[in-house]
Amino acid sequence: MPRFLTLIRIDERDVPEGGPSPELRERMGALMEEITKAGVMLDTAGLAPTSEGTRVTWSGGKITSTDGPFTETKEVVGGYSLIQAKDKAEALEWAKRFLRVHEEYWTVTAEVREINENC
């Protein structure tokens, strides 16, 4: 079965003070339990804020690094999941279910990409 990486994109400036609500955490926990029991979830996690990150770039034969926060970036990867699904349609359905557990005031984007096993 193919594997899919889902990148969860957020605008760090729009995250509610104190993070996700207890109700969101509860709904998220239930979904994570369901997807794990279904044998689909391989790995998932949230990421530290960009203020704690570093970008390393190779350009012109040189390595440079820049510490966060990255002010020129509006939307950042806030988390990820690695799943094994029968096809892209199933992977997209799980991503949609993940998005639906959020309250309406959240703006969250899920980018679903199949992992190319031949690289």
Q: Could you count the other beta carbons within 10 Å of the beta carbon of residue 92? A: 15
CA-to-CA dists, residue 104 to 33, 57, 99, 108, angstroms: 23, 36, 10, 10
Alpha carbons 64 and 58: distance in angstroms, whole number: 7
Could you give the domains of the chain?
3-114 (3.30.70.1060)
Average pLDDT (4-18) is 88
Please write down the HEC assignment for all residues of 53-95: CEEEEEECCEEEEEECCCCCCCEEEEEEEEEECCCHHHHHHHH
Q: What is the pLDDT of residue 31?
A: 97
Average pLDDT (58-77) is 87
Helix axes 22-37, 88-100, angle to 10 degrees: 160
Tokens 């955490």 found at: 25
Whether the pLDDT of residue 70 is over 80: the answer is no
Whether the pLDDT of residue 73 is over 80: the answer is no
Q: What is the pLDDT of residue 75?
A: 83
Tokens 């349609």 found at: 89
pLDDT in tens, 14-56: 888 888 899 999 999 999 999 999 999 999 999 998 889 999 9
Q: What is the pLDDT of residue 12?
A: 83
12: Cβ–Cβ under 8 A, 6 or more apart, which residues? Answer: 49, 50, 69, 76, 78
Its pTM stands at 0.86
Q: What is the pLDDT of residue 79?
A: 94
